[in-house]
Structure 1
Amino acid sequence: MMGNHPYDVYYDKLLPALISKVEEFRLLHYETAETGMLWRFLKEKRWKSMDTERSLSRLVGDILSVKPGEYMNYTQLTAFKAPEWSEPLSDEEIAALFAPPKERE
């Protein structure tokens, strides 16, 4: 999960907290929660404006304080912004959608 965010260097150390938070979400029946998406949420939303000296314990606190609603809103907005939602269907795809079902033998 390395990238260009300054906190990416802490990913391996923060992974247990990320896993713990995802497991908590799943216990609350948010079955689609993933560590990668949670990490992305934190980098893009929680850590958008970064402190130059943020302690590791504060980063763990940031992870453990994420509310399910915040995370799920982010994942839904991210899904709606994905390119496959905005691409029109091809003629073949439309024909396949409206084709009559094949008769069973």
Structure 2
Amino acid sequence: MGNGHAYDYFRSEVQPALVSKLEEFHLLGYDSVSDNELWDFLTKKKWRKIKEEIHLYQIIEDILAVKVSDFISFATIKSYKTAEFSFDDENELKELLK
């Protein structure tokens, strides 16, 4: 399968649906979300289990059904997993505990 996701093949075809969903996010005040971040959410969360016989309309339906709250939850958890916390500096620890 390589490094990419099985549905990456459809990405250029579903770009208008991604743009539409991003416009919805922007209308709701989430201006910093990129199409790469949205695609990452879809491939790692929504499409974790790959269907052998998926149709283009099903992928578009999944994109348009994304809820902002689901995306934000995913992004928050991802940021916690990738954040590096270091409590070596005692001043930083004291500042955090204020």
Q: Give the gaps of 5 or more residues in structure 2.
A: 93-98
One-letter code aligned to 1:79: S
Q: Which residue of 2 aligns with 1:51?
A: 51
One-letter code aligned to 2:38: L
Corresponding residue pairs, total: 89
* Higher RCO (C-alpha under 8 Å, 6+ residues apart): 2
One-letter code aligned to 1:29: G
Q: Which residue of 2 aligns with 1:36?
A: 36
CA deviation digits over 1:45-95, x for unaligned, max 9?
A: 11111110110011000000000100111111111112xx2153888xx8x
Aligned-residue sequence identity (percent) comes to: 33
Structure with the greater alpha carbon radius of gyration: 1
Per the normalisation by structure 2, the TM-score is 0.80
2:84 corresponds, among 78, 83, 86, to 86
Per the normalisation by structure 1, the TM-score is 0.75
Q: Does 1:63 align with 2:78?
A: no
Q: Secondary structure at the match of 2:14?
A: helix
Q: Secondary structure at the match of 1:13?
A: coil
- RMSD between superposed Cα atoms in Å: 1.9
Measure, in 2, the Cα distance between the counterparts of 1:89 and 1:22: 37
